[in-house]
């Protein structure tokens, strides 16, 4: 390998102590403890209790275990959680639970600290399998199965996804046909693509499964419903008619026994239909409290939104851990000595290193605030405090907007942390690679991220068209014309030219406007609205088209639709950060958090600068000053970087990464002391380069 700096002449390192970071200077102080409490959010005590458990070695991953060992360990860990009374919070009080839905999620998502396999296997057992019985079943089902599910006497799989259908659940192939004669449902897998697949607990540990299938009675398909199906005998063999396969080794989460299931004429009693939203009488008559098959389907699936909520939280936690590791290391590690004969630079003093890590820190803060609001909304719906149809739809839209952003962010952050810690980051002992492998699947399970963002976009389009629903028939057309006029206004650069004139020679004025939160909000909001209005305009005639032509028109806008949905999610995060900031009491902390929020907001504007320029929302000069101001913010935030990661509150037992343990600081101190001593006592060899220079001077 070739390096970019020349070796220091002679010995290195003046003192063994750390020189203050270059960016340090008198300025605001961060109240790390108070900030930490704020970041813990609404369910702080529950999170802290869960983190205490996550610090227990017996609940943590052992790197390097074989898949078989890891699977058995995680199963045993579930039992430890049961024994500690740490799993029943979401279940009904009469069964020993606490009816606490928000607290339950807060508690579970912290388990990602111990081992993502533990988080997800617990999620399969109690958040999917158990939750299906709880939310889709009725009292008889609760009494019959929930106690054993809660105690882990009855481990189960959540059999929704099929090899052939993932995100498109409505199209699954498994059938449950009612047999009036025996008053049973007959579960069948009609073809290979309809095998249930990727199910946790299916390969080994599951004794039953909540199986989603097309409910057919009296020759009518009433759509997807959920059935409780025993799959294994007490000795662990498949029951008659049930078969399956192990999914084998995966890219991560190997503590979970994912597998496949298929059914051939498997008979279950009529009562095993989880019948909260649809029932079949002994004579085969179907009934449902929800008349519309479409609404019924979405209502059933909507009860299972908690998976997305917890992935948003766990991804944010993993990002915070990765940044704690990488930023701690970056404040200790030194490399290259451009500025000094003796001292190498601390990594985080390099602009590029700041650029790589600090914007991700800002996003992680935004997500932390957004997640707490999201969880409050979830709790309000599931506790019944605010659970109208509109509330539920809003919750699902928020889930569909935030889960993609935070799960992708976790992968990007873990990867940047890996690269920013070099070869050390590639070692399992430093945690980052393991977390990244485990979290990889978060971006496509519980709803593929791209599919979820399309859901958001469709909701935005629906809301947009509703605005005009009550107006007369020509309203939409007039709106489109108005849009075009607006585009002509922005597009011709009139607003932009105004900016150029007012900015001319005054970067200061430009920056002052950019850090105005109202300006940031306007830019972010305007982008979502304009994109949606533009797409709505282009799709306005699709209702007059054939389904194929309408689908083609939609498809031609698909990429931009997804971008609009992403912009909407970013706006939600920015707004949550801004509201969180308003709650921050300590002045110094508030100042630093304001810089961080500005870094987040302006980072989004910089990322989408082309859009703002094309649409005349930013002048060229203004766009350039966004980048310049971001660089200034990075310098300002540099001295507070450690405070900002410390506030996440992870202890060494949580991080378990050797490179963030202080070992690097010890190594740096030792090396610097060695060279300093050589210089002090004159034992340092002379550098040949020094001799060459002297010779030239003669």
CA–CA–CA angle 221, 223, 226 (5° rounding): 120
Q: How far is the CB of 269 from its own copies (least distance, A)?
A: 21
The answer to the question of residue 468 lying near its own copies (CB under 8 A) is no
By beta-carbon proximity to its own copies, the closer residue of 614 and 680 is: 614
Q: CA-CA distances (angstroms) from residue 421 to 267, 343, 585, 664? A: 56, 20, 35, 11
Alpha-carbon span 482 to 520, nearest angstrom: 24
Q: How far is the CB of 220 from its own copies (least distance, A)?
A: 5
Among 116, 313, 534, 616, binds its own copies (CB under 8 A): 616
Q: Which of residues 204-233 bind its own copies (CB under 8 A)?
A: 214, 216, 219-224
Alpha-carbon span 576 to 401, nearest angstrom: 13
> Which stretch, 288-296, 376-384, 521-529, 579-587, contacts its own copies (CB under 8 A)?
288-296
Among 26, 57, 505, 547, binds its own copies (CB under 8 A): 547
Q: CB neighbours (10 Å) of residue 639?
A: 20
Q: Is the dihedral of CA 540, 396, 530, 548 positive or negative?
A: negative
The answer to the question of residue 157 lying near its own copies (CB under 8 A) is no
Alpha-carbon span 576 to 42, nearest angstrom: 14
Of 576, 587, 585, 563, residue with least CA distance to 521: 576
Q: How far is the CB of 356 from its own copies (least distance, A)?
A: 8
Alpha-carbon span 124 to 403, nearest angstrom: 18
CA–CA–CA angle 203, 440, 437 (5° rounding): 80
Among 153, 179, 387, 426, binds its own copies (CB under 8 A): 426
The answer to the question of residue 629 lying near its own copies (CB under 8 A) is no
The answer to the question of residue 461 lying near its own copies (CB under 8 A) is no
Of 338, 223, 318, 211, residue with least CA distance to 280: 223
The answer to the question of residue 454 lying near its own copies (CB under 8 A) is yes
The answer to the question of residue 422 lying near its own copies (CB under 8 A) is yes
The answer to the question of residue 465 lying near its own copies (CB under 8 A) is no
> Which stretch, 106-114, 322-330, 451-459, 567-575, contacts its own copies (CB under 8 A)?
451-459
Q: Which of residues 123-152 bind its own copies (CB under 8 A)?
A: none
By beta-carbon proximity to its own copies, the closer residue of 94 and 246 is: 246
Max distance between CA atoms of the chain, in angstroms, equals 111
Q: Which of residues 240-279 bind its own copies (CB under 8 A)?
A: 247-252
Alpha-carbon span 102 to 90, nearest angstrom: 8
The answer to the question of residue 181 lying near its own copies (CB under 8 A) is no
Q: How far is the CB of 686 from its own copies (least distance, A)?
A: 5
Q: Which of residues 58-97 bind its own copies (CB under 8 A)?
A: 63-64, 66-67
Q: Which of residues 10-39 bind its own copies (CB under 8 A)?
A: 10, 12, 22
Of 67, 304, 83, residue with least CA distance to 204: 67
Which helix (H) or strand (E) is 267 found in, with range? strand 266-269
Among 166, 241, 243, 517, binds its own copies (CB under 8 A): 166
**Sole residue written with tokens 């020189």:** 19
Q: How far is the CB of 341 from its own copies (least distance, A)?
A: 8
Of 559, 311, 566, residue with least CA distance to 441: 311
For its own copies (CB under 8 A), the number of binding residues is: 146
Among 36, 92, 147, 164, binds its own copies (CB under 8 A): 164
Q: How far is the CB of 143 from its own copies (least distance, A)?
A: 28
Among 277, 369, 554, 640, binds its own copies (CB under 8 A): 554
Q: CB neighbours (10 Å) of residue 309?
A: 29
Alpha-carbon span 310 to 104, nearest angstrom: 10
Q: Which of residues 474-513 bind its own copies (CB under 8 A)?
A: 491, 493
Query: Residues 126, 133: contact at Cβ < 8 Å?
Result: no
Map residue 670 onto helix, strand or coil.
Answer: helix
The answer to the question of residue 1 lying near its own copies (CB under 8 A) is yes
Q: Which of residues 335-354 bind its own copies (CB under 8 A)?
A: 335-341, 344-345, 349-352
Among 138, 151, 183, 415, binds its own copies (CB under 8 A): 415
Q: How far is the CB of 371 from its own copies (least distance, A)?
A: 20
Alpha-carbon span 457 to 460, nearest angstrom: 5
Q: Which of residues 304-333 bind its own copies (CB under 8 A)?
A: 304-305, 307
Question: Which DSSP state fits 129?
Answer: I
Map residue 599 onto helix, strand or coil.
Answer: helix
Q: How far is the CB of 140 from its own copies (least distance, A)?
A: 25
């Amino acid at each position: 390998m070739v390096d970019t700096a020349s070796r220091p002449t002679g010995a290195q390192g003046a003192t063994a102590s750390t020189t203050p970071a270059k960016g340090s200077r008198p300025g605001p102080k961060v109240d790390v403890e108070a900030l930490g409490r704020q970041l813990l959010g609404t369910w702080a005590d529950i999170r802290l209790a869960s983190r205490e458990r996550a610090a227990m070695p017996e609940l943590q991953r052992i790197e390097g275990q074989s898949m078989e060992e890891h699977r058995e360990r995680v199963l045993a860990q579930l039992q430890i959680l049961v024994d500690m009374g740490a799993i029943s919070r979401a279940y009904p009080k009469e069964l020993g639970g606490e009816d606490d839905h928000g607290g339950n999620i807060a508690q579970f998502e912290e388990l990602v600290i111990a081992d993502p396999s533990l988080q997800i296997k617990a999620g399969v057992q109690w958040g999917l399998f158990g939750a299906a019985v709880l939310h889709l079943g009725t009292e008889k089902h609760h009494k019959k199965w929930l106690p054993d599910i809660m105690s882990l006497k009855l481990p189960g799989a959540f059999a929704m996804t099929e090899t052939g259908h993932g995100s498109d659940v409505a199209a699954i192939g498994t059938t449950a046909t009612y047999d009036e004669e025996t008053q049973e449902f007959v579960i069948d897998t009609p073809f290979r693509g309809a095998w249930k697949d990727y199910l946790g607990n299916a390969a080994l540990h599951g004794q039953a499964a909540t199986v989603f299938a097309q409910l057919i009675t009296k020759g009518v398909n009433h759509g997807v419903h959920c059935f409780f199906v025993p799959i294994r005998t007490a000795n662990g063999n498949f029951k008659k008619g049930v078969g399956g396969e192990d999914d084998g080794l995966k890219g991560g989460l190997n503590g979970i026994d994912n597998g496949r299931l298929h059914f051939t004429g498997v008979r279950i009693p009529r009562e095993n239909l989880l019948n909260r939203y649809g029932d079949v009488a002994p004579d085969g008559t179907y009934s449902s409290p929800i008349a519309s098959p479409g609404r019924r389907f979405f209502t059933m699936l909507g009860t299972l939104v908690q998976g997305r909520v917890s992935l948003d939280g766990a991804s944010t936690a993993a990002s915070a851990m990765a940044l704690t590791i990488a930023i701690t290391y970056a404040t200790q590690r030194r490399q290259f000595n451009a500025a000094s004969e003796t001292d190498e630079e601390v990594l985080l003093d390099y602009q590029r290193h700041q650029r790589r890590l600090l914007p991700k820190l800002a996003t992680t803060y935004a997500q932390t605030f957004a997640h707490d609001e999201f969880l409050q909304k979830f709790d309000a719906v599931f506790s019944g405090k605010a659970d109208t149809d509109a509330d539920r739809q809003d919750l699902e839209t928020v889930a569909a907007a935030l889960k993609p952003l935070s799960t992708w962010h976790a992968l990007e952050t873990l990867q940047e942390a890996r690269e920013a810690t070099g070869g050390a980051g590639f070692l399992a002992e430093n945690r980052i690679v393991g977390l990244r492998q485990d979290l990889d699947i978060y971006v496509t399970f519980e709803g593929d991220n791209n599919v979820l963002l399309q859901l958001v976009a469709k909701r935005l389009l629906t809301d947009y068209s509703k605005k005009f629903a009550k107006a007369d028939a020509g309203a939409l057309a007039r709106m489109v014309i108005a849009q075009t006029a607006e585009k002509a206004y922005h597009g011709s650069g009139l607003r932009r030219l105004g900016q150029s004139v007012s900015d001319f020679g005054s970067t200061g004025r430009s920056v002052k406007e950019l850090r105005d939160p109202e300006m940031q909000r306007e830019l972010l909001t305007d982008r979502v609205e304009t994109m949606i209005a533009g797409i709505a305009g282009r799709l306005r005639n699709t209702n007059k088209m054939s389904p194929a032509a309408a689908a083609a028109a939609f498809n031609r806008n698909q990429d931009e639709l997804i971008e609009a949905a992403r912009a909407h999610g970013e706006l939600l995060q920015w707004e949550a950060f801004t509201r969180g900031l308003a709650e921050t009491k300590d002045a110094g902390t508030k100042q630093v958090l304001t810089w961080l929020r500005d870094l987040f907001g302006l980072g989004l504007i910089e990322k989408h600068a082309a859009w703002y320029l094309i649409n005349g929302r930013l002048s060229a000069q203004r766009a350039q000053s966004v980048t310049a101001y971001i660089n200034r913010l990075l310098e300002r935030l540099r001295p507070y970087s450690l405070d900002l990661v410390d506030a996440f509150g992870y202890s060494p037992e949580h991080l378990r990464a050797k490179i963030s343990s202080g070992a690097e600081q010890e190594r740096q101190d030792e090396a610097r002391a060695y060279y300093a001593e050589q210089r002090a006592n004159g034992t340092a060899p002379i550098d040949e380069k020094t001799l060459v220079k002297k010779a030239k001077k003669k």
